[in-house]
Structure 1
């Protein structure tokens, strides 16, 4: 029974993204105490991790999510296909071919993002739209207001296999954010999954 609950917890976090223990308990029809015990065990195995999110009132809300090791519990033939295609392109067209592919992807994303952001004037609104766009692409994104800056947090990298094979994809995404948010703000990546971080975090603040 314990192994079954553990598997259901991992599946729930994979399919629905970060959740509180209470949300998981309600979805799985088990007690919150039991869910917390399993989450603590999964946390010790580095399969899940948590973040305490501040609310307007009351104590912070603890939200649980899969770690990179947790995501690896699920078969990913899609990643194997991507790696094979990238390696083949590199062998056939060399680094120049890969650079052209990355530039093409960046241009497509820039056009789509700029269109979505064009109707929004203020930075918080732009970031909310950007997070929604990233969530549609599977990045599990959220925006946190730090007072003097904003954090765009991505708890999952939906192009992890490609980015692992070619760091140019990560550089491209950082450039993309800078371009679509405009020269009035600075964008700095402060946490990076491929550098050992649990997530990717971008610090975004208005320029003086």
Structure 2
């Protein structure tokens, strides 16, 4: 969970996060490495020996749920092949409307960008996206989804990613610019959005 949420970590860093020693964390990482769930890489930073950072392998990533991935992809392919691309777009648009309405109702009392992002983070985390957010020194807000529970569907149909971006834009309003920095579907470790108020 720590490697999924925070990316590559040394055994010492992981030990601190777990409230144990770096050596205890290293032993656990070695066992996970033997199972093929994590891998260590050497990172040079200045003089001295390189530090060893641990990260999840592809097998490790699969330990996090991808909700009904195979069935979802099959259904999307069937809609596309039997009914056409427009029908698939109609289905995605309907999902976008429903999700947008649920999120908008939850955000009804929010006034500031931070309030909205806090609610969005809670909603997305409840859906399995492992979301969090933080204010940056430059005044922007960084919204991060560490996991994508619909990754297989989004990979099979990019319309889901476009739809989610449209939902975020609708919820946060025209005065908030949204830029996606990292994208799981395109090989990123997570989906990261930079939010900035333009007015």
Fold shared by both chains (TM-score > 0.5): yes
Tell whether the 8 Å contact from 2:65 to 2:149 is kept in structure 1 after alignment. no
Residue 205 of structure 1 pairs with residue 196 of structure 2: yes
Normalised by the size of structure 1, how large is the TM-score? 0.73
Q: Cα offset for 1:194?
A: 1.0
1:121-136 matched pairs, under 5 angstroms: 121-136=111-126
Tell whether the 8 Å contact from 1:190 to 1:200 is kept in structure 2 after alignment. yes
Structure 1: give runs of 5+ residues left out of the alignment: 1-12, 50-63
Partner of 1:162: 153
Structure with the bigger percentage of helix = 1
Q: Distance in 2 between matches of 1:77 and 1:138?
A: 9
Normalised by the size of structure 2, how large is the TM-score? 0.76
Q: Distance in 1 between matches of 2:149 and 2:64?
A: 14
Partner of 2:132: 142
**Larger RCO, structures 1/2 (Cα 8 Å, 6+ apart):** 2
Cα distance 1:48–1:114, how it changes in 2: closer, same or farther (>3 A)? Answer: farther
In the alignment, which of 183, 187, 191 is matched to residue 196 of structure 1? 187
| Structure 1 outlier segments of 4+, above 3 Å | 17-26, 36-43, 45-49, 64-69, 73-77
Matched residue count: 176
Aligned residue for 1:35, secondary structure, equals: helix
Q: Cα offset for 1:105?
A: 0.6
Q: Cα offset for 1:65?
A: 7.8
Q: Distance in 2 between matches of 1:183 and 1:98?
A: 27
Deviations 1:53-96 (A, max 9, x none): xxxxxxxxxxx985654222578682111111111111111101
Cα distance 1:39–1:205, how it changes in 2: closer, same or farther (>3 A)? Answer: farther
Structure 2: give runs of 5+ residues left out of the alignment: 7-13, 41-53
